[in-house]
Amino acid sequence: MIARGARIIAVDRDKEALQKLATELGHGLDLTAVEGDVTDEGSVAAFVARAREATGRIDIFFSNAGIEGPVHPIAEYPLADFRGVLDVNVGGVFLGLKHVIPVIGGGGAVINTSSVAGLTGTAGICAYNASKQAVIGLTRSAAAEWGGRGIRVNSIHPGPIAFRMMASLEEGLSPGKATEVRAQFSAMIPALRFGAPEEGAALVAFLASEDAHYIHSAVFVVDGGFTAS
């Protein structure tokens, strides 16, 4: 997005991660790092206001915050952990939509990150599955409400991506055997490999662009064919 000329307001509750991002991407580029918590309505309202102050307007909202939660069968899944996952993955999307959509410019784009877990079921990650399926409902409700103003709301559904979250799930699914789990997952993907973060980012950039001006309420899978069978 930065390469395409976007002015970026990056939000995270992890101050160190924000500083690292600003160091890696911010040099000579138009990026503002803002500490915020997507589960706290006051914080969401504040970072939306900060974005408008910094840029004058909001044209694109990429709702990407998410956590995977622990791996347990449903009968053993702690209620506090279940609620925690939904608070970030569903509540965070809801609060973002609530505070951004009313101020986003006409013709703007909202992209919500779900997952292939929003389309399938996997033993041990019931909270993550439930949360990512809920993102589809929120996306479609928002598209129905705001499409008439030319605001496009869509969701993306990445498959296994070579990044921190997938590594955590691999370890949780089979402690001490994450490498074997990755090999098993890779064998299930027609592309025979995990995706790269940049491959998901390319889809986000397309959905944010004018080339996608008639795409509303869509579910876009970027998974190397993982959900083909």
Q: CATH number for the domain including 104?
A: 3.40.50.720
Residue-wise pLDDT for 46-60, tens only, equals: 999 999 998 889 999
3-state percent helix, strand, coil for the chain, nearest multiple of 5: 50, 20, 30
- Mean per-residue pLDDT for 23-45? 84
Domain residues for the domain of 171 are 60-222
Does position 1 have pLDDT exceeding 70, yes or no?
no
CB contact set of 41 (below 8 Å; sequence gap of 6+): 95, 98, 99
Asked whether the CA dihedral 210, 214, 216, 220 is positive or negative, the reply is negative
Indicate whether 29 belongs to any domain: no
Element containing residue 122 per DSSP (H, E): none
Indicate whether 50 belongs to any domain: no
3-state secondary structure of 100: helix
Q: Which residue would you say has higher pLDDT here, 21 or 83?
A: 83
Q: What pLDDT band is residue 172 in, cutting at 50, 70 and 90?
A: confident
Does position 43 have pLDDT exceeding 60, yes or no?
yes
Residue-wise pLDDT for 145-166, tens only, equals: 999 999 999 999 999 998 888 8
Does position 62 have pLDDT exceeding 90, yes or no?
yes
Indicate whether 54 belongs to any domain: no
Indicate whether 26 belongs to any domain: no
Indicate whether 228 belongs to any domain: no
Measured between alpha carbons, how far is 76 from 71 in angstroms, rounded to an integer? 10
Query: Where in the sequence numbering do the catalytic residues fall?
Result: 128
* CA nearest neighbour of 107 among 148, 161, 67, 54: 148
pLDDT over 90 percentage in the chain: 72
- Number of folded domains that form the chain: 1
Residue-wise pLDDT for 89-123, tens only, equals: 999 999 999 999 999 988 899 999 999 999 999 99
Indicate whether 191 belongs to any domain: yes
Indicate whether 144 belongs to any domain: yes
Out of 24-33, 119-128, 140-149, least confident range? 24-33
Two structure tokens written together for 144: 């129905």
